[in-house]
A and B are shown apart, each in its own frame.
Chain A
Amino acid sequence: MTKSSSPISPDAINRLVVDLPCGKKSLARARNKVMKFARDHDFSAEAEDIVLATQEALKNIIQHACPADNNMHLECTVDHDHMTIEISDIGSGFDVGDVLDTPAEPMASHGRGIQLIKGIMDGVLITSEQEGTLIHMEKKRYQA
Protein backbone atom coordinates (compact mmCIF):
# COMPACT_ATOMS: atom_id res chain seq x y z
CA MET A 1 0.00 0.00 0.00
CA THR A 2 1.32 3.42 -0.91
CA LYS A 3 1.65 5.75 2.04
CA SER A 4 -0.29 8.96 1.65
CA SER A 5 1.66 12.22 1.62
CA SER A 6 -0.98 13.73 3.89
CA PRO A 7 -0.01 13.99 7.56
CA ILE A 8 -3.60 13.14 8.43
CA SER A 9 -4.47 9.51 8.87
CA PRO A 10 -7.59 8.39 6.98
CA ASP A 11 -8.86 7.08 10.31
CA ALA A 12 -8.26 10.28 12.21
CA ILE A 13 -11.23 12.21 13.50
CA ASN A 14 -10.92 15.45 11.60
CA ARG A 15 -13.63 17.33 13.40
CA LEU A 16 -14.03 18.38 17.00
CA VAL A 17 -17.32 19.76 18.31
CA VAL A 18 -17.60 21.10 21.83
CA ASP A 19 -20.44 22.90 23.59
CA LEU A 20 -19.51 24.72 26.76
CA PRO A 21 -21.35 26.69 29.44
CA CYS A 22 -20.83 30.40 28.95
CA GLY A 23 -18.33 31.29 31.66
CA LYS A 24 -14.69 31.85 32.46
CA LYS A 25 -14.32 28.38 33.93
CA SER A 26 -14.92 26.88 30.49
CA LEU A 27 -11.91 28.57 28.92
CA ALA A 28 -9.19 26.26 30.22
CA ARG A 29 -11.22 23.22 29.20
CA ALA A 30 -11.69 24.60 25.69
CA ARG A 31 -8.00 25.48 25.39
CA ASN A 32 -6.95 21.99 26.42
CA LYS A 33 -9.27 20.33 23.92
CA VAL A 34 -8.20 22.57 21.04
CA MET A 35 -4.51 22.15 21.90
CA LYS A 36 -4.86 18.36 21.85
CA PHE A 37 -6.82 18.41 18.60
CA ALA A 38 -4.23 20.64 16.94
CA ARG A 39 -1.32 18.48 18.07
CA ASP A 40 -3.10 15.26 17.13
CA HIS A 41 -3.44 16.61 13.60
CA ASP A 42 0.14 17.75 13.19
CA PHE A 43 -0.53 21.43 13.85
CA SER A 44 1.89 21.55 16.77
CA ALA A 45 3.79 24.55 15.38
CA GLU A 46 0.56 26.51 15.11
CA ALA A 47 -1.18 25.15 18.20
CA GLU A 48 -0.41 28.02 20.56
CA ASP A 49 -1.66 30.61 18.07
CA ILE A 50 -4.82 28.59 17.52
CA VAL A 51 -5.40 28.22 21.26
CA LEU A 52 -4.97 31.96 21.88
CA ALA A 53 -7.38 32.82 19.05
CA THR A 54 -9.90 30.36 20.48
CA GLN A 55 -9.55 31.93 23.92
CA GLU A 56 -10.14 35.42 22.53
CA ALA A 57 -13.19 34.37 20.53
CA LEU A 58 -14.75 32.61 23.53
CA LYS A 59 -13.96 35.60 25.75
CA ASN A 60 -15.83 37.77 23.29
CA ILE A 61 -18.94 35.69 23.92
CA ILE A 62 -18.49 35.71 27.70
CA GLN A 63 -17.98 39.47 27.86
CA HIS A 64 -20.43 40.71 25.23
CA ALA A 65 -22.94 38.17 23.97
CA CYS A 66 -24.81 36.80 26.99
CA PRO A 67 -26.33 33.95 24.95
CA ALA A 68 -29.89 33.09 25.89
CA ASP A 69 -29.10 29.37 26.19
CA ASN A 70 -25.86 30.05 28.15
CA ASN A 71 -23.98 27.99 25.55
CA MET A 72 -20.78 28.52 23.56
CA HIS A 73 -20.40 26.33 20.48
CA LEU A 74 -16.93 25.42 19.20
CA GLU A 75 -16.08 23.46 16.06
CA CYS A 76 -12.60 22.62 14.75
CA THR A 77 -11.94 20.92 11.43
CA VAL A 78 -8.76 20.08 9.56
CA ASP A 79 -7.83 19.34 5.98
CA HIS A 80 -4.41 18.80 4.45
CA ASP A 81 -3.08 22.29 5.02
CA HIS A 82 -5.63 24.23 7.07
CA MET A 83 -7.26 24.10 10.45
CA THR A 84 -10.56 25.92 10.79
CA ILE A 85 -12.10 27.00 14.08
CA GLU A 86 -15.64 28.29 14.34
CA ILE A 87 -17.03 29.78 17.54
CA SER A 88 -20.69 30.69 17.70
CA ASP A 89 -23.41 31.77 20.07
CA ILE A 90 -27.03 32.85 19.95
CA GLY A 91 -26.44 36.04 21.89
CA SER A 92 -27.48 39.57 21.01
CA GLY A 93 -24.65 40.24 18.54
CA PHE A 94 -22.52 43.35 18.14
CA ASP A 95 -21.33 45.82 15.50
CA VAL A 96 -18.62 43.92 13.62
CA GLY A 97 -17.31 47.10 11.99
CA ASP A 98 -16.47 48.59 15.35
CA VAL A 99 -14.13 45.76 16.29
CA LEU A 100 -12.66 44.87 12.89
CA ASP A 101 -11.88 48.28 11.48
CA THR A 102 -10.40 49.98 14.52
CA PRO A 103 -7.19 48.49 15.90
CA ALA A 104 -6.75 49.14 19.59
CA GLU A 105 -4.31 51.83 20.60
CA PRO A 106 -1.36 50.30 22.46
CA MET A 107 -2.50 51.86 25.73
CA ALA A 108 -6.25 51.41 25.27
CA SER A 109 -7.96 49.62 28.13
CA HIS A 110 -9.69 47.10 25.86
CA GLY A 111 -10.18 46.02 22.24
CA ARG A 112 -7.13 43.83 21.82
CA GLY A 113 -8.90 40.47 21.47
CA ILE A 114 -9.90 40.77 17.83
CA GLN A 115 -6.56 42.47 17.07
CA LEU A 116 -4.76 39.42 18.46
CA ILE A 117 -6.95 37.03 16.46
CA LYS A 118 -6.26 38.95 13.24
CA GLY A 119 -2.55 39.02 14.02
CA ILE A 120 -2.09 35.32 14.59
CA MET A 121 -4.61 33.68 12.27
CA ASP A 122 -4.43 33.54 8.47
CA GLY A 123 -8.11 34.23 7.92
CA VAL A 124 -10.84 35.73 10.08
CA LEU A 125 -14.49 36.29 9.26
CA ILE A 126 -16.99 37.57 11.80
CA THR A 127 -20.70 37.72 11.19
CA SER A 128 -22.93 39.07 13.90
CA GLU A 129 -26.66 39.65 13.90
CA GLN A 130 -29.40 39.90 16.45
CA GLU A 131 -29.69 36.12 16.42
CA GLY A 132 -26.05 35.58 17.31
CA THR A 133 -22.44 35.71 16.25
CA LEU A 134 -20.15 33.40 14.28
CA ILE A 135 -16.38 33.84 14.35
CA HIS A 136 -14.68 31.82 11.59
CA MET A 137 -10.88 31.51 11.82
CA GLU A 138 -8.37 29.67 9.66
CA LYS A 139 -4.75 28.72 10.23
CA LYS A 140 -2.43 27.33 7.57
CA ARG A 141 -0.18 24.42 8.38
CA TYR A 142 3.42 25.54 8.83
CA GLN A 143 5.61 24.46 5.93
CA ALA A 144 9.21 23.87 7.04
Chain B
Amino acid sequence: MEIEVEEKEGYHIVSPVGELDIYTVPLFRKVVLKLEGDRRHDLILDLSRLTFIDSSGLGSLIEIWQKLQSVDGEIAYVVSNPRILKVFKLVDLDKVFRVFPNLGRALQDVGVTGGYVDEEFFSDLT
Protein backbone atom coordinates (compact mmCIF):
# COMPACT_ATOMS: atom_id res chain seq x y z
CA MET B 1 0.00 0.00 0.00
CA GLU B 2 1.10 3.53 -0.72
CA ILE B 3 -0.12 6.54 1.25
CA GLU B 4 -0.17 10.02 -0.23
CA VAL B 5 -0.58 13.13 1.93
CA GLU B 6 -1.49 16.57 0.59
CA GLU B 7 -2.38 19.88 2.21
CA LYS B 8 -5.29 21.72 0.67
CA GLU B 9 -7.62 24.46 1.90
CA GLY B 10 -6.65 23.86 5.51
CA TYR B 11 -7.07 20.09 5.35
CA HIS B 12 -4.65 17.23 5.36
CA ILE B 13 -5.83 14.92 2.61
CA VAL B 14 -4.63 11.37 3.15
CA SER B 15 -5.03 8.92 0.27
CA PRO B 16 -4.22 5.27 0.89
CA VAL B 17 -3.75 3.39 -2.39
CA GLY B 18 -4.40 -0.36 -2.54
CA GLU B 19 -5.49 -2.57 0.34
CA LEU B 20 -6.25 -1.41 3.88
CA ASP B 21 -6.21 -4.55 5.98
CA ILE B 22 -4.62 -6.11 9.01
CA TYR B 23 -1.28 -6.19 7.16
CA THR B 24 -1.19 -2.55 6.07
CA VAL B 25 -3.07 -0.88 8.96
CA PRO B 26 0.09 -0.29 11.08
CA LEU B 27 1.61 1.89 8.34
CA PHE B 28 -1.66 3.74 7.78
CA ARG B 29 -2.10 4.45 11.50
CA LYS B 30 1.49 5.62 11.80
CA VAL B 31 1.10 8.12 8.95
CA VAL B 32 -2.29 9.48 10.00
CA LEU B 33 -1.68 9.65 13.74
CA LYS B 34 1.57 11.49 13.10
CA LEU B 35 -0.47 14.15 11.29
CA GLU B 36 -2.78 14.37 14.26
CA GLY B 37 -0.08 16.25 16.14
CA ASP B 38 -0.44 19.09 13.65
CA ARG B 39 -3.58 20.85 14.84
CA ARG B 40 -3.47 23.47 12.10
CA HIS B 41 -5.18 21.03 9.77
CA ASP B 42 -8.30 18.94 9.84
CA LEU B 43 -8.47 15.68 7.93
CA ILE B 44 -10.01 14.23 4.80
CA LEU B 45 -9.41 10.52 4.22
CA ASP B 46 -9.66 10.01 0.47
CA LEU B 47 -10.45 6.30 0.12
CA SER B 48 -11.26 6.47 -3.59
CA ARG B 49 -8.19 4.42 -4.51
CA LEU B 50 -8.75 1.68 -1.94
CA THR B 51 -9.29 -1.68 -3.59
CA PHE B 52 -9.99 -3.68 -0.42
CA ILE B 53 -10.81 -3.05 3.23
CA ASP B 54 -11.31 -5.50 6.07
CA SER B 55 -12.47 -5.14 9.67
CA SER B 56 -8.99 -4.08 10.78
CA GLY B 57 -9.04 -1.30 8.20
CA LEU B 58 -12.47 -0.23 9.46
CA GLY B 59 -11.14 -0.28 13.02
CA SER B 60 -8.31 2.06 12.07
CA LEU B 61 -10.76 4.51 10.48
CA ILE B 62 -12.84 4.48 13.67
CA GLU B 63 -9.80 5.03 15.85
CA ILE B 64 -8.82 8.05 13.76
CA TRP B 65 -12.41 9.39 13.85
CA GLN B 66 -12.47 9.09 17.64
CA LYS B 67 -9.15 10.87 18.06
CA LEU B 68 -10.29 13.76 15.85
CA GLN B 69 -13.62 13.95 17.69
CA SER B 70 -11.86 14.16 21.03
CA VAL B 71 -10.04 17.33 19.96
CA ASP B 72 -13.00 18.81 18.05
CA GLY B 73 -11.29 18.21 14.74
CA GLU B 74 -13.06 17.93 11.40
CA ILE B 75 -12.87 14.65 9.50
CA ALA B 76 -14.54 13.48 6.29
CA TYR B 77 -14.25 10.46 4.02
CA VAL B 78 -14.23 10.21 0.24
CA VAL B 79 -15.59 6.90 -1.04
CA SER B 80 -16.14 6.38 -4.76
CA ASN B 81 -15.87 2.59 -4.77
CA PRO B 82 -19.33 1.06 -4.16
CA ARG B 83 -17.62 -2.01 -2.75
CA ILE B 84 -16.05 0.03 0.05
CA LEU B 85 -19.34 1.84 0.68
CA LYS B 86 -21.10 -1.52 0.99
CA VAL B 87 -18.67 -2.54 3.72
CA PHE B 88 -19.26 0.78 5.52
CA LYS B 89 -23.00 0.15 5.43
CA LEU B 90 -22.69 -3.41 6.70
CA VAL B 91 -21.34 -2.08 10.00
CA ASP B 92 -23.40 1.16 10.02
CA LEU B 93 -20.42 3.47 9.64
CA ASP B 94 -22.28 5.37 6.91
CA LYS B 95 -24.59 6.61 9.70
CA VAL B 96 -21.68 8.11 11.61
CA PHE B 97 -19.02 9.14 9.10
CA ARG B 98 -19.40 12.02 6.69
CA VAL B 99 -18.96 10.27 3.35
CA PHE B 100 -18.61 12.10 0.04
CA PRO B 101 -18.41 10.72 -3.51
CA ASN B 102 -15.41 12.83 -4.52
CA LEU B 103 -12.81 15.15 -3.05
CA GLY B 104 -14.42 18.29 -4.47
CA ARG B 105 -17.68 17.59 -2.67
CA ALA B 106 -15.82 16.79 0.51
CA LEU B 107 -13.96 20.10 0.48
CA GLN B 108 -17.16 21.95 -0.36
CA ASP B 109 -19.49 20.37 2.19
CA VAL B 110 -17.28 19.05 4.96
CA GLY B 111 -18.78 21.55 7.38
CA VAL B 112 -22.10 19.70 7.57
CA THR B 113 -22.64 17.96 10.87
CA GLY B 114 -23.44 14.37 11.79
CA GLY B 115 -23.44 11.26 9.61
CA TYR B 116 -23.89 12.06 5.95
CA VAL B 117 -23.93 10.08 2.72
CA ASP B 118 -24.78 11.48 -0.69
CA GLU B 119 -27.49 8.89 -1.32
CA GLU B 120 -28.46 10.28 -4.71
CA PHE B 121 -24.93 9.82 -6.03
CA PHE B 122 -24.41 6.40 -4.53
CA SER B 123 -27.82 5.10 -5.62
CA ASP B 124 -26.38 4.86 -9.13
CA LEU B 125 -23.46 2.79 -7.93
CA THR B 126 -24.90 0.33 -5.46
Which residues on A are within 8 Å of B, measured CB to CB?
Answer: 24-25, 27-28, 31, 48, 51-52, 55-56, 59, 62-63, 104, 106-110, 112-113, 115-116, 119-120
Contact = CB atoms under 8 A, between A and B. Distances in A.
A56 B63 contact: no
Contacts of B91: 104, 106, 112, 115-116, 119
Q: Provide the main secondary structure of the chain B interface.
A: helix
B59 A28 contact: no
A116 B93 CA distance: 12
A110 B19 CA distance: 19
Given A28-B23, A107-B65, A112-B91, 16 more contacts: A27-B21, A52-B87, A55-B21, A59-B55, A59-B56, A104-B91, A106-B91, A106-B93, A106-B95, A106-B96, A108-B62, A112-B58, A113-B54, A113-B55, A115-B90, A119-B90
Interface in B79-123: 83, 87, 90-93, 95-96
30 contacts: A24-B22, A25-B23, A27-B22, A28-B19, A28-B23, A31-B52, A51-B52, A52-B54, A52-B87, A55-B21, A55-B54, A56-B55, A59-B22, A63-B22, A104-B91, A106-B62, A106-B91, A106-B93, A106-B95, A107-B62, A107-B65, A107-B66, A108-B62, A110-B55, A112-B55, A113-B54, A116-B54, A116-B87, A119-B90, A119-B91
A104 B56 CA distance: 13
Nearest to B56: A59
A116 B90 contact: yes
